[in-house]
Copies of this chain bind each other. A is one copy, B any other.
Amino acid sequence: MTASVFMEDLDAFTYRERLATGSRLVIVPVGSVEQHGPHLPLTTDVLLARAVSGRLAEAVGALVAAPIVYGYKSQQRSGGGNHLGGTTSLDATTMIAIARTLTHEFARHGAERVVFLNGHFENYQFLYEGVELATRELAAQGNDLEAMLVSYWDFVDAATLDEVYAGSFPGWEVEHGGVLETSLMLHLHPELVDLGRVMDLPPAELPPYDLLPVRPELTPASGCLSSAARASAQAGRLLLERTTTALAEAVESAFANRMSATMLQ
């Protein structure tokens, strides 16, 4: 039997056995199909959410669901805007429905805990709504499944930021196609990164509000909100390790006394 934690690699019999005998925890990676500048692939968010989910699953004895590939619309202040070619997004009600239904489906499988591991800023509130509805409905039926929602970058600590950015962290709000994502991709999928195409522009200066329809001229020519010029595979490795460790601690802490001792070894 394969040791893979990815549902995608498992047949149904193996999946059922692993879920029944493990931590009964399923991690759902949530990405997007979104432009990330000229140097990163369109599915960067999927790849990163999936990779972090895999590391986390190994750490806490969980399984990783097939990813939610398409995400909510890119917003100008966090992802450049949904007017850009290549960015391919779903509406809010669809995202909500996906999160709601998958929560119900994993509960049906016998999962007792579901973690939605988000890799695309704009998804969060819609995942929240879907999971809120599903857990309320499940509770009304006597099923006490618990769900956790995380965006992986919320687990990068200040020390790591200092180390990676050498004190010049521009703020999460402009981390789109920048040092974090590019470094992680260099570490995990170097064949999909073309550092030579990085456009080394200053961080985007976007106003503290949204305008709709979007004014395209406010998005930098690269589509990125900060430069990836300082990215490195080494920084990626560091970010991945630290983030995974912090996430594993958070999961263990949140579900302590609820998961059996063995499954967290």
Considering the complex, which residues of chain A in the window 73-91 have a beta carbon less than 8 Å from any beta carbon of chain B?
Answer: 73, 75, 82, 84-91
Number of copies: 6
A129 touches B86 (CB 8 A): no
A73 contact set on B, CB distance < 8 A: 129, 132
Considering the complex, which residues of chain A in the window 6-42 have a beta carbon less than 8 Å from any beta carbon of chain B?
Answer: 7-16, 19, 33, 35-42
Considering the complex, which residues of chain A in the window 202-230 have a beta carbon less than 8 Å from any beta carbon of chain B?
Answer: 207-213, 223
Chain A interface residue count, Cβ-Cβ cutoff 8 angstroms: 88
**Binary contact readout A145-174 vs B (1 if CB under 8 angstroms, 0 otherwise):** 011111000110000000000000000000
Considering the complex, which residues of chain A in the window 129-144 have a beta carbon less than 8 Å from any beta carbon of chain B?
Answer: 129, 131-133, 135-136, 139-141, 144
Chain B nearest CB from A75 CB (Å) reads: 7
One of A51-59, A60-68, A233-241 at the interface: A60-68
A134 CA / B105 CA spacing, docked (Å):
17
Interface assignment of A256: CB less than 8 Å from any CB of chain B:
no
A35 contact set on B, CB distance < 8 A: 11-12
Chain B nearest CB from A184 CB (Å) reads: 16
B12 touches A37 (CB 8 A): yes
A86 CA / B66 CA spacing, docked (Å):
11
Residue of B92, B94, B102, B110 touching A88 (CB-CB under 8 A): B102
B69 touches A88 (CB 8 A): no
A237 CA / B155 CA spacing, docked (Å):
37
A194 CA / B14 CA spacing, docked (Å):
12
A73 CA / B136 CA spacing, docked (Å):
13
B84 touches A223 (CB 8 A): no
Closest to A209 in B: B150
Interface assignment of A245: CB less than 8 Å from any CB of chain B:
no
A250 touches B208 (CB 8 A): yes
B12 touches A223 (CB 8 A): yes
A40 contact set on B, CB distance < 8 A: 11
A144 contact set on B, CB distance < 8 A: 213
Closest to A136 in B: B213
Q: Can you give 10 A-B contacts (C-beta < 8 A)? A: A10-B41, A11-B36, A65-B88, A91-B129, A91-B133, A94-B97, A94-B98, A131-B212, A135-B212, A148-B211
